[in-house]
Amino acid sequence: MTSAELLELEQAIDRMVELARGYGLDFYDMRFEVVPADVLYTFGAYQGMPTRYSHWTFGKFYYRMKVDYDLGLSRIYELVINSDPCYAFLLDNNSLVENKMVCAHVLAHCDFFKNNAMFKHTPRNMVDSMAASAERFRAYEMQYGKVAVEEFLDSVLAIQEHIDPSETARQQRLIRPSDGDRNEASKDNRRLSPYDDLFSLDERLSTQQRKEKPRDIVHPQKDLLLFLVHNSKTLTDWQRDVLTVLREEMLYFWPQIETKVMNEGWATYWHQRIMRELDLTGAEAIDFARTNAGVTAPSRMHINPYLLGVKIWEAIEKEYEVPTGDRRDRFHVEGNVGRQQMFEVREMESDASFLRNYLTQDLIEELDLFLYQKVGNEWRIVEKDWRKVRDKLCASRTNGGYPVLYVMDGDYQVAGELYLKHAYEGMELDVKYSEKTLPHVFKLWGRPVHLETVLEGRNILFSYDGNRIQRKFL
């Protein structure tokens, strides 16, 4: 972008901010940064966080995105960070009108970050705290070796989704902080000689008398990372720190994962409204229309969250403006409250409830959504019933699309072994991946680990003892 264009963009943003406020959007102060493509892709690889720690997986992701970009296969238009002030990165070689659109889009994202309930507890200074932890990780690399840190990160990254972001879990942690556990864990941790087990044997026996069963959990715990932080005997202090940091980062990212469709739809809805209000030349209008169409293009194999989201938002507006059917007859919605309802939904819901409540039969048919499955060598459409499509879509957005695992026992077989259970709800786990992930859990736990799940309708237990994987039908 030339400096003349920058100036024009600045004026346009001024106008857009005014328009957005007029619509009722409520966002933090904005910091727009124009960056070249490779920098934008770098940030993209680090999930939008420029200050994040280093790891080869980010490099791999960066390379893949960059290749796609270089080949013209895909591109990132915008990156926005959930922070106060809100940082947004614009692509330098976007056209002026593209960047105008992106700015409008980003304003709505920021409104969403600021007002959606899921984001209530996300720290708004994550850029700085990530920089601080990246700095610490670098120091660990110096002290304990690059390879040690990298391999540890490999292991934590393998299970990083297994946290418990729910409000209930948060409340419980506030009521009963696990400080007791933490002390106990670090006490165990101090001794790292090969005879560790022998020494701690007496101690373990004595604690056993004190408590019924050590490291046994009354309630199954979903937060595997937290459980490891508190109870793993093999972790050293720096490792505990890394684990804690990655857990907090995941907690920070989680609301974004859980509101992808809503958030993108919301931003798309508003960039369309705001752009329509701007004075665009004919050429610019066409440019905008083309870009907008690109963003909301359907794809056969995936659901485009921009498209699905914006369609649902528009349907909500329409439905609450002029209610029909049940909405009018059973719920007595008065009408003329389209926008009001939209703002309420953007505050209260996440993808799973958003889809469940507002993805209607009409929409599914209009969008021609379907379910497909692998049949032999082909991927075939197998279901078009709107309820099934909706339910599947909801299920795929539940828990961010990751399998739910619970820690059932931290002292399985009274041998300090870790017992995980997959909350099976009809979707099987990828066996190969599970078997490759268990060794990572073993590394973090230090004792044999077990995972119970269901395959072909039968309960099965995968166990890893440090040498090999065993499968056992239960």
Partner 1 sequence: MGDTSFFISKDDWSLHRKGEQDQARHQEKVREAIRKNLADLISEEGIIMTDGRQVVKIPIRSLDEFHFRYNFNKSQQTGQGDGDSAIGDVIAKDGSGEKGAGHDSGAGDQAGADYYEAEVSVDEIQELLFADLQLPNLVQKSPEDVIVEDIAFKDVRKKGLQSNIDKKRTILENVLRNARAGKPGLHDIALDDLRFKTWEDVERPHSQAVVLAMMDTSGSMGTFEKYVARTFFFWMVRFLRTKYQTVDIQFIAHHTEAKVVTEQEFFTKGESGGTICSSAYKLALDLIETKYSPDRYNIYPVHFSDGDNLTSDNDKCVQLVHKLMDVSNLFGYGEVNQYNRASTLMSAYRHIHSPLFRHAIIREKADIYRSLHTFFGPSQSVSGGAL
Least distance from partner 1 to the Cβ atom of residue 391, Å? 10
Q: How far is the CB of 99 from partner 1 (least distance, A)?
A: 10
Question: At residue 316, what is the residue type?
Answer: I
Rounded Cα distance, 42 and 58, in Å: 8
85 preceded by cis ω (within 30°)?
Answer: yes
Nearer to partner 1, 121 or 384 (CB): 384
Token reading at 54: 């280093």
Cβ distance to partner 1 smaller for residue 308 or 333: 308
Question: SS in 3 state form for 382-406?
Answer: EECCHHHHHHHHHHHHHHHHCCCEE
Q: How far apart are CA 276 and CA 286, in angstroms?
A: 12
Q: Which is nearer to partner 1, 320 or 354 (CB)?
A: 354
> From the CB of 222, what's the least distance to partner 1, in Å?
13
Residue 433 beta carbon to partner 1: minimum distance, rounded to whole angstroms: 5
SS3 227: helix
Phi then psi for residue 124, to 5 deg, are -100, 10
CB 200 within 8 A of CB 191: yes
Which CB sits closer to partner 1, 286 or 381? 381
Q: How far is the CB of 361 from partner 1 (least distance, A)?
A: 15
CA pair distance 153, 141, nearest whole angstrom: 11
Identity of residue 237: D
Complex with partner 1: residue 350 or 437, whichever CB lies closer: 437
Residue 13 C-alpha from the chain's centroid: 29
Contact 1, 100 (CB under 8 A): no
Compute the C-alpha angle 248/254/260, nearest 5°: 155
Identify the H or E element spanning 379: strand 378-383
Q: Rank residues 217 and 367 by Cβ distance to partner 1 and give the closer one.
A: 367
* H or E element at residue 283: helix 282-295
Closer to partner 1 by Cβ: residue 176 or 384: 384
Closest approach, Cβ 166 to partner 1, in A, equals 19
- Nearest to partner 1 of 199, 379 (CB atom): 379
Q: Please give the structure tokens belonging to residue 300.
A: 């056969």
Question: Minimum distance from CB of 167 to partner 1 (Å)?
Answer: 24
Shortest gap between Cβ of 286 and partner 1 (angstroms)?
A: 21
